[in-house]
C-alpha cells in the first residue's frame, strides 16, 4: 500500500513538471559555424561566399564579425550591411499550416553616424514588418543588444524561407554600417500539455483507487 501511494506522489510530480518542448529550426542561428574556420576580426561576404552555410547571402554584402564588437552570445555576429545593404536567408523545414515563433537579437553597427538601423523580415516571401534599433549611446564594447521577434508565423509548405533584409538608410544603394544580428531562432508552436492540476489530480485519484483496491484484497486474504 505504501509503495502504491509513493508511486502516486511521484506520478503527480512528474506530470506537473512536463511541458511542451520545441527545437530551434534555424541552423547556425548564432553564426558560430564558419566554413572554412576563420578567426579574423571581420570579413565581408557576398552571394558567392558560403562561410555561414546554410545561410545564403541573397543580395548585397554582409560583414561577419568576430572580435570587432561585443556579440549577443558566443563569438560571432553579423553586420547586415557590408559594402552595401545585404540580405541573408535560410530554408527551414516546416509543417504546412503549422505556427512558428521567431526570435533574434538585434543591435546596430556603432561606427560612423549614430542613429536608427533597420531590418525587414520575410517569412515565405511575405514581409513580417521592419524592426529598428537606435545605436545612439552604444559602442563596440557596449552594443546594447535587444531581443526582437514575432509569433504566430504560419507555414504554407514543407519548406519556408526566412530572410533578413537591411533597410537602413531607406533606398540608398550603398549603406554600410547596418543592423547587427545574432542568436536567430524559430520554434514551432506546440499544443500545451494540460497543466497541474488538470491532469495530475485525476491521475493521482486513479492511482489512489488502485491502491485502495489492492489494500481491500490484501485485507480479505488475511
Residues 11 and 57 placed together within one structural domain of the fold: no
Residue 36: pLDDT over 60: yes
Residues 170, 99 within the same domain = yes
- Do residues 152 and 201 both lie within one domain? no
Question: Which of 116, 166, 119, 118 minimizes the C-alpha distance to 137?
Answer: 116
Q: What mean pLDDT is reported for the chain?
A: 83
Q: Is residue 135 part of a domain?
A: yes
Q: Are residue 178 and residue 202 in the same domain, yes or no?
A: no
As a whole number of angstroms, the distance between CA 118 and CA 85 comes to: 11
Is 25 among the domain residues? no
Shared domain for 173 and 115, answered yes or no, is yes
The predicted pLDDT at position 18 comes to 43
Predicted TM-score of the model (pTM): 0.77
* Range of weakest confidence among 8-12, 118-122, 187-191: 8-12
- Looking at the fold, whether 9 and 70 belong to one and the same domain comes out as no
Same-domain check for residues 7 and 91: no
Task: State mean pLDDT over 15-24.
Answer: 58
We report the CATH number of the domain holding residue 149 as: 2.60.120.260
Based on the fold, state whether residues 124 and 206 are members of the same structural domain: no
- Same-domain check for residues 71 and 121: yes
Query: Minimum mean pLDDT among 39-43, 44-48, 178-182: which range?
Result: 39-43
Distance CA 216, CA 132 (A): 69
How much is the pLDDT for 6?
46
Indicate the helix (H) or strand (E) that contains 4.
helix 2-17
Residue 121 covered by a domain: yes
pLDDT band at 10 (very low <50, low <70, confident <90, very high): very low
Looking at the structure, tell me whether residues 113 and 211 fall in a common domain: no
Q: What is the mean pLDDT of residues 85-104?
A: 97
Distance CA 173, CA 194 (A): 52
Determine the average pLDDT of the residues in 211-220.
52
Residue 188: name the closest of 94, 110, 116 by CA: 94
Looking at the fold, whether 112 and 206 belong to one and the same domain comes out as no
pLDDT-derived band at 16, boundaries 50, 70, 90: very low
Domain membership of residue 82 (yes or no) is: yes
Residue 34 is assigned to a structural domain of this protein: no
Instruction: Calculate what percentage of the chain has a pLDDT beyond 90.
Output: 66
Domain that holds residue 129: 42-188
Provide the number of structural domains found in the chain: 2
150 in the same domain as 51: yes
Predicted confidence band at 13 (pLDDT cuts at 50, 70, 90)? very low
Question: Is pLDDT at 12 greater than 50 in this prediction?
Answer: no
Amino acid at each position: 500500500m505504501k509503495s502504491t501511494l509513493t508511486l502516486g506522489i511521484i506520478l503527480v510530480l512528474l506530470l506537473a513538471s512536463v511541458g511542451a518542448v520545441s527545437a530551434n529550426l534555424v541552423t547556425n542561428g548564432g553564426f558560430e559555424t564558419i566554413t572554412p574556420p576563420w578567426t579574423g576580426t571581420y570579413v565581408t561576404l557576398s552571394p558567392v561566399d558560403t562561410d555561414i552555410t546554410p545561410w545564403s547571402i541573397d543580395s548585397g554584402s554582409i560583414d561577419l564579425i568576430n572580435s570587432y564588437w561585443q556579440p549577443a552570445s558566443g563569438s560571432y555576429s553579423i553586420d547586415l550591411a557590408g559594402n552595401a545593404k545585404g540580405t541573408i536567408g535560410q530554408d527551414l523545414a516546416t509543417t504546412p499550416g503549422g505556427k512558428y515563433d521567431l526570435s533574434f537579437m538585434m543591435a546596430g553597427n556603432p561606427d560612423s553616424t549614430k542613429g536608427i538601423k533597420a531590418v525587414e523580415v520575410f517569412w515565405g516571401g511575405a514581409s513580417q514588418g521592419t524592426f529598428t534599433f537606435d545605436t545612439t549611446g552604444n559602442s563596440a564594447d557596449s552594443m546594447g543588444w535587444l531581443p526582437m521577434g514575432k509569433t504566430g508565423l504560419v507555414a504554407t509548405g514543407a519548406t519556408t524561407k526566412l530572410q533578413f533584409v537591411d533597410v537602413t538608410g531607406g533606398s540608398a544603394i550603398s549603406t554600410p554600417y547596418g543592423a547587427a544580428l545574432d542568436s536567430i531562432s524559430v520554434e514551432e508552436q506546440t499544443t500545451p500539455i494540460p497543466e497541474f492540476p488538470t491532469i495530475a489530480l485525476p491521475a493521482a485519484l486513479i492511482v489512489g483507487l488502485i491502491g485502495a483496491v489492492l489494500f481491500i484484497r490484501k485485507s480479505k486474504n488475511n
